[in-house]
Amino acid sequence: MMLTVQDVTKTFAGGEGDLPVLRGVSLSLDRNETLALTGESGSGKSTLLHLIGGLDTVGSGAIEIDGHDITKMTDSDRAALRRTDVGVIFQQFNLIPSLTVAANMAFQARLAGRYDADQAARMSDALGLTPHLDKYPEALSGGQQQRVAIGRTLVARPKLVLADEPTGNLDEATARQVLDQMLDLVTETGAALLMVTHSQSVARRMKRQVHLSQGRVA
Q: Report strand pairing: 192-196 vs 216-217.
A: unpaired
27-56 confidence digits (pLDDT tens):
999 999 999 999 999 999 999 999 999 999
Q: What is the mean pLDDT of the chain?
A: 93
- Cβ-in-10-Å burial (0-12, 13-18, 19+) of 43 comes to buried
**Is the pLDDT assigned to residue 133 strictly greater than 90?**
yes
Strands ordered across the beta sheet of 3-14: 17-29, 3-14, 60-65, 68-69
User: Structurally, how many domains does the chain consist of?
Assistant: 1
DSSP string, 5-17: EEEEEEEEEETTE
Best CA proximity match to 25, nearest among 73, 69, 58, 53: 58
Res. 17 pLDDT band, cuts 50 70 90: confident
Q: Are 151 and 178 within 8 A, CB to CB?
A: no
Best CA proximity match to 122, nearest among 135, 144, 105: 105
* Residues 182, 150: Cα–Cα separation, whole Å: 7
147-184 confidence digits (pLDDT tens):
999 999 999 999 999 999 988 877 788 788 888 888 98
The CATH number of whichever domain residue 182 belongs to comes to 3.40.50.300
Domain holding 114, by residue range, is: 3-217
- Cβ-in-10-Å burial (0-12, 13-18, 19+) of 101 comes to buried
pTM exceeds 0.85, yes or no: yes
Task: Report the pLDDT value the prediction gives residue 169, as an integer from 0 to 100.
Answer: 76
* Residues 172, 106: Cα–Cα separation, whole Å: 28
Task: Report the pLDDT value the prediction gives residue 23, as an integer from 0 to 100.
Answer: 97
Task: Report the pLDDT value the prediction gives residue 44, as an integer from 0 to 100.
Answer: 95
Task: Report the pLDDT value the prediction gives residue 172, as an integer from 0 to 100.
Answer: 83
84-105 confidence digits (pLDDT tens):
999 999 888 899 999 999 999 9
